[in-house]
Structure 1
Amino acid sequence: MARHIYSCPLRWSDMDAFGHVNNVVFLRYLEEARIDFMFRLAPGDGSPSFAGGSVVARHEIDYLRPLVHRHRPVTVESWVTKIGAASLTIAYEVKDPEQVYVRASTVVVPYNLAEERPRRISAEEKLFLQEYLAEEPAAV
């Protein structure tokens, strides 16, 4: 399984009064990594995959340790944990080599903006996503 790696800069405005990255800012970091993964790395030259839009159906975040401002970016690793007919789940770790700050997941629903409704995941999209799909744990 491959993981998408995104180098995310920290901004001075990301900090809260306590001197660490505000909890809501982590959602922006996840969004930046997800957009980079789904749109910039989407398959095919000129492919319409993922370009028609998507909506977030759910976020789940575990804050493990505070992240303080520094000039070096933080790494956001992303991978796919579930591919359904009309949704997918992306997992993330916001981290440095020596520690993880946040573990999170997002349920994303492909969306047809012109028709204003969810749509199914295309065969091309599924093929792309499967490269990042976490292997199922061994049955006990």
Structure 2
Amino acid sequence: MARHIYRCPLRWSDMDAFGHVNNAVFLRYLEEARIDLTFRLAPGEGSDSFSGGSVVARHEIDYLRPLVHRYEPVTVETWVTKISAASVRYSYEVKDDEQVYVRAMTVVVPYDLAAGRPRRITAEERGFLEAFLEDDQAEEAVAV
């Protein structure tokens, strides 16, 4: 299992009136990391994998501590915790060398834009995603 590492810059516009990253902005950080994983690192030229579209079905975010503006980027670690026939669950940590600011999860459904409906995950997509698959049952047991 490997985790995808994305270095996410903080923008001045990410801050709220209290000087820390606004809670809604973290969704954009997660999206940037997920897009970097699935579109930049996904199978190369000639492959239709991940190109048909997708929709977010669910987000879950635990805000652990405030993230204040600074010039160094934060790290967004992304991994896959579940692959079903027609959805993928990604997990994330937004952190630096010293602390974790956010733990989050997103369920993404592949979507056929032309047909206007969800589609199945292809064998090629599954093969790519499995390289990032990590069992999260231990985390779920702790969270209950």
- When normalised by structure 2's length, the TM-score is 0.93
Aligned to 2:103: 103
Unaligned runs of 5+ in 2: 139-144
Aligned to 1:31: 31
- Secondary structure of the residue aligned to 1:23 is coil
Let me know the Cα RMSD of the aligned residues: 1.2
* Cα drift, residue 97 of structure 1: 1.4
| Aligned 1:22-101 pairs, distance under 5 A | 22-101=22-101
Count of equivalent residues: 138
Aligned equivalents of 1:135, 1:57: Cα separation in 2: 20
Q: Deviations over 1:86-136 (max 9, x none)?
A: 001000000001100000000000000010100000000000000000046
Q: Which moved more, 1:37-46 or 1:91-100?
A: 37-46
Unaligned runs of 5+ in 1: none
Aligned equivalents of 1:131, 1:108: Cα separation in 2: 17
* Cα drift, residue 45 of structure 1: 2.3
Q: 1:8 to 1:136 in 2, by over 3 A?
A: closer
| Aligned 1:102-121 pairs, distance under 5 A | 102-121=102-121
Runs of 4+ displaced beyond 4 Å:
none
The share of aligned pairs that are identical, in percent, is 78
Aligned equivalents of 1:44, 1:134: Cα separation in 2: 24
Aligned equivalents of 2:137, 2:89: Cα separation in 1: 16
Aligned equivalents of 1:24, 1:17: Cα separation in 2: 14
Aligned to 2:142: none
Aligned equivalents of 1:117, 1:12: Cα separation in 2: 38
Aligned equivalents of 2:25, 2:137: Cα separation in 1: 32
